[in-house]
């Protein structure tokens, strides 16, 4: 049977269909498509980003653009295979505003994050990861239900209601935005350290 908009998804294909048909918030209007998570259904680690960017919106896959390049390299350095990770986003549609020919990322608001938790929570129920790693404050809000102080709380194991463990760290786009090469290298090391801490909690 075709799932209705409010039917709790029983498997990841229902999540995919549901996201494509989602009208829980207005962001579907200006996006090419919804971008669901990707990765094995038995993943012990789930990584949650903020929302698809320009390239993810076009490709229909999470973290395939510049931030994805940073994430992939940091995962490799931390000894984590991306193929073993379920990678998703707090918000499944690309929120943006036009700037000339470009589409500039706009941070989703708390209402949009709340609306899209329906899908993130479904992914978490279906995957049942041991650790849910949130990249940045918006993903942290979606995972923890409160906005974390990322600088203070990063890299720590935070207990979650469903018995899994949460962790927050910086968003890879933040690393890309740092203007100075030294501070970028240092921030990148901190990011890799948090991924190593995450690896320690799932192995």
Residues that bind ligand URA (CB under 6 A): 49-53, 56, 62-63, 65, 67-68, 89, 173
Quote the least distance from Cβ 49 to ligand URA, whole Å. 3
Contact 142, 132 (CB under 8 A): no
Quote the least distance from Cβ 93 to ligand URA, whole Å. 11
In the complex with ligand URA, the residue whose CB is nearer, 69 or 200, is 69
* Residue 69 structure tokens: 């390049």
Quote the least distance from Cβ 89 to ligand URA, whole Å. 5
In the complex with ligand URA, the residue whose CB is nearer, 3 or 59, is 59
In the complex with ligand URA, the residue whose CB is nearer, 51 or 169, is 51
In the complex with ligand URA, the residue whose CB is nearer, 2 or 95, is 95
DSSP designation for 39 = S
Look at residues 2, 4, 15 and name the one whose alpha carbon lies nearest to residue 122. 15
b/e for 61-73, b at 16 or more Cβ within 10 A?
bbbbbebbebbee
Integer Cα distance of 141 and 23 in angstroms? 21
Quote the least distance from Cβ 184 to ligand URA, whole Å. 17
């Amino acid at each position: 049977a075709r799932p209705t908009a409010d039917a709790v998804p029983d498997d990841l294909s229902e999540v995919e269909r549901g996201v494509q048909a989602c009208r829980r918030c207005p962001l579907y209007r200006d996006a090419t498509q919804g971008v669901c998570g990707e990765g094995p259904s038995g993943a012990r680690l789930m990584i949650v980003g903020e929302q698809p960017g320009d390239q993810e919106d076009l490709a229909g896959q999470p973290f395939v653009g510049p931030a994805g390049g940073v994430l992939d390299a940091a995962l490799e350095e931390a000894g984590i295979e991306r193929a073993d990770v379920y990678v998703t986003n707090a918000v499944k549609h690309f929120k943006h505003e036009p700037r000339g020919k470009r589409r500039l990322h706009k941070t989703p608001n708390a209402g949009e994050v709340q609306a899209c938790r329906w899908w993130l929570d479904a992914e978490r129920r279906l995957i049942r990861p041991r650790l849910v790693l949130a990249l940045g404050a918006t993903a942290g809000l979606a995972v923890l239900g409160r906005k974390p102080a990322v600088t203070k709380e990063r890299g720590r194991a935070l207990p979650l209601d469903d018995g899994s463990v949460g962790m927050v760290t910086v968003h890879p786009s933040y690393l890309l935005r740092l203007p100075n090469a030294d501070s970028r290298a240092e921030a990148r090391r901190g990011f890799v350290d948090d991924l190593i801490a995450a690896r320690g909690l799932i192995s």
